[in-house]
Structure 1
Amino acid sequence: MNSEATARAWDEALAALDLAEQLETLCRDMPQVGPAIAPPTSASELFRRIDRNADGRIDLEELAGLLEGAGRRADPTRLQELVARITGRVEATDLGPAELAVLLRLDRIADPGQRLQERFRLLDRDGSGHVSPDELRLCLEALGLAVAEESGGMDALIAAVDRDADGRVDAEEFRRLFQDAENRQRRCSNTSMPDRDWWGSLWPEPADTLLQMGLRPGMAMLDVGCGYGLFTIPAARLVESRPVVGLDIDADVLEQGRSLGSGLANCSWVWGDLRQLRQTFTTPFEMVFLHSTLHGIDDKVGLVREVHALLAPGGRFAVVNWLPIPREQTIWLGLPRGPKQEVRMGAEATADLVLGAEPELRLERTVPLPPFHYGLIFTKADGAIA
């Protein structure tokens, strides 16, 4: 069995369910849809699977079939209105690859946990609490997705995640599958989480770093891409009774952070996507902390705008990033560390990016963080924090 092909097959099935959900939401709410963009590779493959008659377009019947296969409401009139809005042509009745990619770029349900439960419910057709090979086959067929031969068929898909070897997938097994798929799909391809002990040796006094970056008692803080909670946990101690939230898309390291911070009543942990901060949180923060992550995010401007929307007036956006020096010079514990040099951003480039994305932010100060990092503190207008 080809494990990569099996993972791709699962990813395609989950992506098809996501797309069906987007179609239903769009048909119901009809928001403005942006201009067509070039489809990513994953969108091209998904397009080919949904295009059942292989004519290079996805028509209304194929879109309705996708919705029905996912157990969603299919309204032909609303589907046609959606297609017309995306294409800009009133008479349009089908979508091309680039137009389908518009849908894949739109926001999904913000809470991954909610999406996980919904995906499992759709696959578990008889409500037994398990997904059998037959249920999986029926769902994939209804979505127009045929499992590629190299993935080993339906039994191989089940076996790939069937940890107790009972021939079916329970909710916990599906949770692990879903989280792995989320991690593969995240848009932070140039970031990775170092070993916790190694990371801790580079930052032996994280509380001191937080103070240098402007965190003070009484400030609520969001730690974006918190990982093991290296900075989240000391932040919770520093701010006393105010809330500190750690957010990460990697469920395994997040769970380690949750365990390490279990004794702190004001510290909470959210499995979520940094591209959807405004949909995940409704309460503003006095500080948003972003450590060694910005360089690896595709939509950096979008992230800055998400952060700005969450900051309280006078709140601080604290960015810590790698110095733009060759990786071969970033030696720690005998080995080169950190991202490739070509993706590292200097302090000036980072400041230009942030200030260009959000004019209401101002650069408060630059903080040297030797040996390999620097910090930038931005403040939101309309107030001040001591």
Structure 2
Amino acid sequence: MERFQNTGQPDWGWWSKLWPTPGATLRKLGIGAGESVAEVGCGSGYFALPAARIIEPGSVYALDLDEDLLAELNRLADQQNIENVVPIHGDARNLSAVLPERVDTLVVANTFHGIDDQAGFVQNAFDAVEPDGSLVIINWHERPRETTTVEGEPRGPPTKLRMTPGETEDTVRSSSAFVFNRHVDLPPYHYGLVFER
């Protein structure tokens, strides 16, 4: 199974420099209590775990191809007494087959730029989201990689993979019936786009 481009998982230490309060970021993007959420490319759960606290008792389906990262997610969930995260080992390019149900919100954080068939993924995402649900994409701004530093080191995907908010919006809107809702700036280096089904 071929992985998305540039999906290496950074450690929590530098994620926390970018998002010291991931739960607040998720709330800003519209995630609220009682929803069901799926995160594509969840890694070890930097967003999935705070999402689970927000939406409890709803479920967070945490999807990733890397079994080691899912094992780490399980360990962290146990450590934090979080019981509503459901790790799923599977390919996000086939969401309808790997998710047990449609979700209210589908979160794609820091991976959209690396998806080879973005149009196909968006079409699958549309089918995986409940009517009146939402797709949330968190992406790196299109700045040169050498300018997006954490602790003095360049971070994030290669410059050539980065997308402007307009490019991301156009890709989603041209590939599906998702309707653009809003753009949320996520300093210092990211933006979030919210689409409604």
Please give the alpha-carbon distance, in whole angstroms, between the structure 2 residues aligned to 1:257 and 1:203. Answer: 18
Paired residue secondary structure (1:261): helix
Please give the alpha-carbon distance, in whole angstroms, between the structure 2 residues aligned to 1:223 and 1:294. Answer: 12
Where does residue 265 of structure 1 map in the other structure? 83
- Number of equivalences: 195
C-alpha contact (below 8 Å) 1:190/1:297 kept by paired residues: no
Where does residue 338 of structure 1 map in the other structure? 156
Please give the alpha-carbon distance, in whole angstroms, between the structure 1 residues aligned to 2:86 and 2:14. Answer: 24
Please give the alpha-carbon distance, in whole angstroms, between the structure 2 residues aligned to 1:259 and 1:282. Answer: 22
**Cα deviation code 1:25-80 (max 9, x no counterpart):** xxxxxxxxxxxxxxxxxxxxxxxxxxxxxxxxxxxxxxxxxxxxxxxxxxxxxxxx
Where does residue 229 of structure 1 map in the other structure? 45
Please give the alpha-carbon distance, in whole angstroms, between the structure 2 residues aligned to 1:268 and 1:259. Answer: 12
Q: CA RMSD in A?
A: 1.0
The structure with the greater share of residues assigned to helix is 1
Question: Could you tell me which amino acid in structure 2 is paired with residue 191 of structure 1?
Answer: T
C-alpha contact (below 8 Å) 1:227/1:257 kept by paired residues: yes
**Match of residue 250, structure 1, among 20, 45, 66:** 66
Please give the alpha-carbon distance, in whole angstroms, between the structure 1 residues aligned to 2:105 and 2:194. Answer: 10
Correspondence list, 1:285-296, <5 A: 285-296=103-114
Whether 2:184 is the aligned partner of 1:367: answer yes
Where does residue 379 of structure 1 map in the other structure? 196
C-alpha contact (below 8 Å) 2:142/2:159 kept by paired residues: yes
Please give the alpha-carbon distance, in whole angstroms, between the structure 1 residues aligned to 2:193 and 2:49. Answer: 21
Q: C-alpha displacement at 1:194, in angstroms?
A: 1.0
Question: Could you tell me which amino acid in structure 2 is paired with residue 365 of structure 1?
Answer: R
TM-score w.r.t. the length of structure 1 is 0.50
Where does residue 119 of structure 2 map in the other structure? 301
Please give the alpha-carbon distance, in whole angstroms, between the structure 2 residues aligned to 1:190 and 1:231. Answer: 18
Q: What are the ranges of 5 or more consecutive residues in structure 2 without an aligned counterpart?
A: none
Q: C-alpha displacement at 1:340, in angstroms?
A: 1.1
Whether 2:131 is the aligned partner of 1:313: answer yes
Q: Using the aligned pairs only, state the percent identity.
A: 38
C-alpha contact (below 8 Å) 1:222/1:285 kept by paired residues: yes
Where does residue 38 of structure 1 map in the other structure? none
Q: C-alpha displacement at 1:196, in angstroms?
A: 2.5
Correspondence list, 1:4-15, <5 A: none
Q: C-alpha displacement at 1:282, in angstroms?
A: 3.9
Correspondence list, 1:124-135, <5 A: none
The structure with the greater share of residues assigned to strand is 2
Please give the alpha-carbon distance, in whole angstroms, between the structure 2 residues aligned to 1:328 and 1:272. Answer: 33
Runs of 4+ in 1 over 2 A off after TM superposition: none
